[in-house]
Structure 1
Amino acid sequence: MLAFKEDEKILCFHGPLIYEAKVLKAENWEEKDSETGETGPHYYVHYKGWKQSWDEWVPESRALKFNEANLSRQQQLRELHLQKKKPTKTTGSPADRHESERGSRKRARDHSIDKEEDYMKRPEIKIPVPDALKAQLVDDWENVTKNQQLVPLPRSPTVVQLLDQYKTSKTDKKGDGRTEEILTEVVKGIKLYFDKALGNMLLYRFERNQYVEIRKKYAGKEMSEIYGAEHLLRLFVQMPSLIAQTNMEQDTIALLRDHLSEFMKFLLKHQKQFFLSEYENATPGYVSQTKSN
């Protein structure tokens, strides 16, 4: 039985702390969560004041009722966290130390609020998506969500192979070591973002069972070695908000944006080669399993 319903305001663990959140979806999972191994009630939540890219599925063990007891627990955890982060002082009277600690907590909270406000004010990075790739994204969405079809996995070329091909195509023939070094870091970064984001934000609901099966079948393999251009293109739609959440310097962001734009041109140039022309129909058993979940 689900303890929380859609649109309900809750408190939710994210790391060691508790945050206010809203339940967007509520489902009972029979398959184990690929991240936690948990079955049972799961909730797709949006954290108050956070960008949508942080929305995620969480097991019921991380969700709490929005009440005075849990709000008090939230505050206690925040204060404990702040105490762990500041150096302890052994001099002065207990009263002096109490005043010092209270002042430190206030400054830490104020600094945290300032950082959140600065983050919300940061302009989102624009990565232009060519019209042909926008159409590709629409077709991808329709194939999966409307037609109940799936991208056959493993894909060829994989995300790793696509990134290697891009790197090879851009490598300076004159042997500019610095350019190649930057290119290597960009490619590594895209791969890392993909592997981290796939399970949390790049899948449609209809694909989740396939993802769980793939994780079991190819245990130990990175998903960038299994998935291909279809899911990588979805990442590029999310990439601006992901970059906005980092502490990168503006010149670094500008350089990364240029490389990501170049990669989009690379995908466009090889669109027919990299993207599927037809998806595979899901089996009746798979459709039934998805509906039951």
Structure 2
Amino acid sequence: MAISRAYISFLSTFFILFLLRNNGGVGATTLGYYSESCPNVEEIVKSSVEFFVSNDNSLAPALLRLHFHDCFVHGCDGSVLLEGSSSEMSAPANTGLRGFQVIMDAKAGVEARCPGVVSCADILALAARDAVVLTKGPSWEVALGRLDGLKSSASDTNDMPSPFDSISLLATKFAAKGLSLEDLVALSGAHTIGQADCHFFSYRLYNYGTTGASDPSLNSSSLNELKAICPSLSSNNRAALDKGSRQTWDNAYYKNIGAGNALLESDSKLGSDGSTGGLVSRFAGSLSEFDSTFVRSMVKLGNVGVKTKAGGGGEIRRMCQVTNF
């Protein structure tokens, strides 16, 4: 029996309530956190996201990536938004990060209504959810109450997941954040939207394993198409992460893995590795299964290392790109 998106949304809300009620302590976020102090925060953030994405739909996956990169360093504390010559923003692992202007615009709107109340980290978490919804993806309730971090260093991004990592290394990096193999495969499904620069995969086309040949796991049709997009190892072009539907949320990403059409090597390995191949097949066979699992994984990701008023160690930034002192 097909499961509707509305039913998935109901299950997601139930799961979030369960998770938060059983995740007490310093790091717990809360549903309805700003219901009295800034009741319109979600509408304000959504308005900014809708405006920018309507003018540039590539910003939807960019916002999702920005939230992911934030949470994997120091937890979800907006540290990726801080500017500086040696900040996370300047690190090679964060090359190509975009969407900062959306967060700054949303922050300005929120500050105009509720000055000094809402963190940049919370705005980023909301914007990532709204970006998914705008690509026809699932929605979920975002628990709030994060504080903004006080530090941002490029060297702290060294353990970020990379498209060049093995599945075992990716699993280790995710486990260090309290995320499972299921979370790894589900969150990788964010690649159902967006593009990647040639330098992330062109070696698969021309010099795989330093052999001077192409990756044999690549479908020949995809190989030819990608060579046309990236005519050399040093090409600066971009290709769709999800062949055929890069602007629409669906489970074609997983089907593409099975067909040898995965753009990134790490994505391709998800299908061939014994620890993750079954999950790829499961999500390829059911969009509703992918949607519901992705939502659960995003809730977990959004609570990685959060700083709250109960635990201290953070602030509500007046401007997202700089600390208050």
TM over 0.5: no
Specify the TM-score bucket, using the shorter chain as the normaliser. under 0.3
Q: Which has the higher contact order (CA 8 A, sep 6+)?
A: 2
> How does the TM-score come out when normalised to structure 1?
0.24
Q: Which has more strand, going by share of residues?
A: 1
